[in-house]
A and B are shown apart, each in its own frame.
Chain A
Amino acid sequence: MSRADTVTVKLHRALYTRQAIEEAAAVFEGFATFNVDRDGDHYIVDVTDINRDVEGDVVAEFCNFSLANTASQQAGRR
């Protein structure tokens, strides 16, 4: 999660759902471009075109949203 132009995030498939990740990506689509792929046990999220004028860490907030979405989905299924 550096200030590089492209950031790659690995989210474990046992802990994050693809739907949750894609919903988070949709929320942040105005601030960066997200590409979600699968690689073994992880979802690989390539984040590009990150808007650096935005206050805060877009990628880290995206990860928080992905986690919150997943947690909400899992709670709803109980």
Chain B
Amino acid sequence: MTQSLIETLDTKTSTLTLSLDSSLYPRDVLYAAAYVFLDRAYVLLDRVETRFVVHIRGKQLLDEPTLRAMTGEFENELLAQALRLRVIKANQRIIESVTTLAIAGAAGGMHEGDAAGGLHDGDDEYDDSTDFLDDPLGISKPWQPKKEEA
């Protein structure tokens, strides 16, 4: 955990500056980690040669332990987002397949073999000859009680 360093920390202005090795953290990871902090801090990103420089200023007045804790949180967030990105990339095709199946299913049912692609409108299964009042199996019961019971 020595590649991410606090360059400056100032409790008077609630600011801290972090310097990160850009070869360790892709830019997307940096964005995702910074995004998490936007509700409680002002975040400004910069780049100096091969390092990302992250300027963070708390929206509230923050003491030194809080600023140091925020640094740790930021580093943890970087790692979490890096792992998340790696998992997404590793499972990209699976995620796309599952999403496609889910959307296709919600759009009107699936037939065997539909996983290969293609939606159907379902018209071939619709029997137009029956009415909703028909009771071919004789299972319907009246709503009102029988006269004998009354």
Contact = CB atoms under 8 A, between A and B. Distances in A.
B46 A67 contact: no
B13 to A, nearest CB: 10
Interface string B50-62: 0010000100000
Interface residues of B, number: 16
A74 B28 contact: yes
A64 B43 contact: yes
B47 A14 contact: yes
A34 B111 CA distance: 57
B24 interface: no
A64 B27 contact: no
Contact of B38 (A14, A41, A64): A64
A53 B139 CA distance: 74
Nearest to B45: A15
A27 interface: no
A74 B27 CA distance: 10
B28 A12 contact: no
Interface stretch (B29-37, B64-72, B99-107, B122-130): B29-37
Contact of B31 (A57, A63, A74): A74
Interface in A34-78: 41, 57, 60-61, 63-64, 67-68, 70-71, 74-75, 78
22 contacts: A10-B46, A11-B44, A12-B45, A15-B27, A15-B45, A15-B46, A15-B47, A15-B52, A60-B42, A60-B57, A61-B42, A64-B38, A64-B43, A67-B38, A67-B43, A70-B31, A71-B35, A74-B27, A74-B28, A74-B31, A75-B28, A75-B32
